[in-house]
Amino acid sequence: MLPKAQQRGLSKNDPVLAGMMEGPPEGDALDLASFITRLAMSLCEVGGYVVYSTCTLSTAQNQAVIEFCLESRKSDDDAKFAVVDATAFVELCVSQLSPALGVRVVPAYSAAGLPLGAMVIPCLAANYGPTFICKIKRLK
């Protein structure tokens, strides 16, 4: 996923995006996040991964982007994608991060209670914002 500053600079005239799909939407960040994620998914080979990462703590927004991208890929072709359970990643982070850093890594779940990704939640002194991470695997 692109940093927010780079996302703002994307346009329909961007040579990287030209000819790959319609240009990025003119709407909000949710539309742009979905566009970039679907583009990455369209380029992903079977057995490969797409990692969606953003600096929002909004569970609803994160869930909406992931679910929209998974659903839209189902209708585009016969490709199949699945969210990778982030439990092992969360456990690794918990075991390796010093409590003195003030960073917590917790699992994120969809409204249905299915694993959706992980949230990195820093304390104010950590001097950076939150991060949501979702790993998506192309199965077919």
Tokens of 34: 């979905």
Sequence-distant (≥ 6) Cβ neighbours of residue 30 within 8 angstroms: 61, 64, 65
Tokens of 116: 């959706």
CB 25, CB 89: distance < 8 Å: no
Task: Look up 55 and say whether it is catalytic.
Answer: yes
Beta-strand ranges (E) seen in the chain are 49-54, 81-83, 103-109, 115-122, 131-138
Active-site residue, from 55, 69, 123, 134: 55
Catalogue the active-site residues.
55
